Amino acid sequence: MRIVMIGSGYVGLVSGACFADFGHQVVCVDKDEAKIDRLMQGGIPIYEPGLEDLVARNVATGRLDFTVDLTGPVARADVVFIAVGTPARRGDGHADLSYVYAAAREIAGALNGFTVIVTKSTVPVGTGDEVERIIREVNPDAEFAVASNPEFLREGAAIEDFKRPDRIVIGLEDERARPVMEEVYRPLYLNQAPIQFTGRRTSELIKYAANAFLAMKITYINEVAELCEQVGADVQQVARGIGLDNRIGGKFLHAGPGYGGSCFPKDTLALVKTAEDAGTPIRLIETTVAVNEARKRAMARKVIAACGGSVRGKTIGILGLTFKPNTDDMRDAPSLSIIQALQDSGAVIRAFDPEGMSAARTMLRDVEFVSSPYATAEDAAAVVIVTEWDAFRALDLERLKAEMAGNALVDLRNIYRPDVAERAGFSYVSIGRPGPMTDEPLSIAAE
C-alpha cells in the first residue's frame, strides 16, 4: 500500500520505517527541512536502538522516502497517517492540537480519490471529529474516511513493540476504512497480533486511559517505597510479592524518582483536562500528577540529606539524564527537576549520560558535562544514579569512590545491592529499602 506519514519525529519515523519494512511504500513528510535533509543523507534525528539500520535498509530498497512537500505523496496515497506532536499547551495543560489541525488542512487540499486519514498522534476524545470537519470544510468534494490508530510504543523498544504489539487499536466511523486498515496491518497477522476495532472516540480514549493507568501504577509503587523506608520494609520484595498476582502484574512496579518522558506527563494532564471539561473529574489521575511532581523534588532532598543536610558549594555527580535508558529523550526527565533543586540549594553539578547530553545541554544551565561515569565523581560529595543505563550497572565502585571527596552514593534506581556498595566504602542510599531505624514511633499523619 502507499502510505504517507505526516511527521518524522519519534512516532512517525519509527512507524514509517516499520511499515516500509513490512513491504508498504512509505513517504515520511516533515516541515523541518534540516531534519529531512539529514534523513536523506542517512542521519537519524533521534536515538532508538535498531532504527538507523532499519531506515537505511528500507531507503536502499526504495520503499522509504522523505520529503518536505506532502502534495504529491498525499495525492497518490491510500492511507495518510498524522503523527505530529501534541504537547501540553502552555498555561492550561490541554493537548496542543494546532499541528494536527494544520496537517488536516494541508492533507485536505491534496486529496485525490478515496483516502483513509489516520490520527496516530495521541489526541483527546473528539479530535477525529474535528479533523473530519476541517477536511470537509477545506475540500467538500473529497472522498475520505478518518480513523484513529493510537501508538503504544516504548522508547528504547519501539521497533519490537511495533512489529510484535500487544494489541492494535483502530477506531472508525466509516466502514470503508476497515478493509484498508486491515490491509495496512496484514503483515502482523502471522504474529497473531490482536486487532480491536472500536468507535473513533473510544479508540482515542483507550490511549489516554492506558497511559494514565501506567503512570498511576508507577506513582503507587513510589508512595509504597516511601512507606517502606519508614517501616523497614523492602519495596522490591513488596513489588515482587504483589506483582506475582496475575491481576496486578509486575510491570511498572519499579520504584524510582518519578515518571517522565514524552507521553505520561502530557497525557495524564490532558486526560485530567478532558475529564474536567466533561464534568467527570478523574481524581486518581489528578493525584497521580501532583504526587509525581512532588516525588521529583523529594529526590533532591534525599541527596541533600545524604550529604549531611547541605550541598552548598559541594559537587554532585549525576549519572543518567534521560527519563529512561535506551533513549536520548529528555522531556520531563526527573533529572531536570532534581538538578534544578540541587542547584537552587547551592550545589555544583557534573553529569554524564550515554545518549542524552546533547539534548540536556539545551535544557540545563551551569552543568559540567563529562565523558565518563568516573569523571562525574571527581571531588564529588555524592554520586547520584538517576537513570538505570546498562553502562552504570557494573561500575568499578572502588574506583568511583576513590575519585570522590565524599562517600555518598544515592541510587535512585536500586541497581546496586547495599552490601556491595558499602563494602566499596560508600554511604549508600537507595529507594524503598530498609534504612537505619529510629526509636521514634511511626507517624502516619499527612504532612
What digits encode the pLDDT tens for the residues 283-313?
999 999 999 999 999 999 999 999 999 999 9
Summarised one tens digit per residue, pLDDT across range 48-93 is 999 999 999 999 999 999 999 999 999 999 999 999 999 988 878 8
Residue 312 burial by Cβ neighbours in a 10 Å radius (0-12, 13-18, 19+): exposed
**Inter-residue contact 311 to 347 (CB < 8 Å):** yes
DSSP lists the bridge partners of residue 148 as: 119, 171
User: Which residues, other chains included, contact 172 with Cβ-Cβ below 8 Å and sequence gap of 6+?
Assistant: 145, 146, 147, 148, 178, 181, 197, 199, 200
Alpha carbon distance 257, 242 (integer Å): 20
Q: Which amino acid is at 18?
A: C
Question: Is 28 among the catalytic positions?
Answer: no
Q: Which of 18, 28, 228, 263 is catalytic?
A: 263
Written as one string, the DSSP assignment of 128-197 is: HHHHHHHHHHH-TT--EEEEE----PPTTSHHHHHHS-S-EEEEES-TTHHHHHHHHTGGGGGGT--EEE
Alpha carbon distance 63, 75 (integer Å): 17
Summarised one tens digit per residue, pLDDT across range 301-353 is 999 999 999 999 999 999 999 999 999 999 999 999 999 999 999 999 999 99
Domains along the chain with CATH numbers = 2-198 (3.40.50.720), 236-429 (3.40.50.720)
Nearest to residue 159, comparing CAs of 5, 261, 323, 20? 20
> 64: how many CB neighbours lie within 10 A of its CB?
26
Nearest to residue 272, comparing CAs of 259, 258, 290, 257? 290
Alpha carbon distance 219, 385 (integer Å): 19
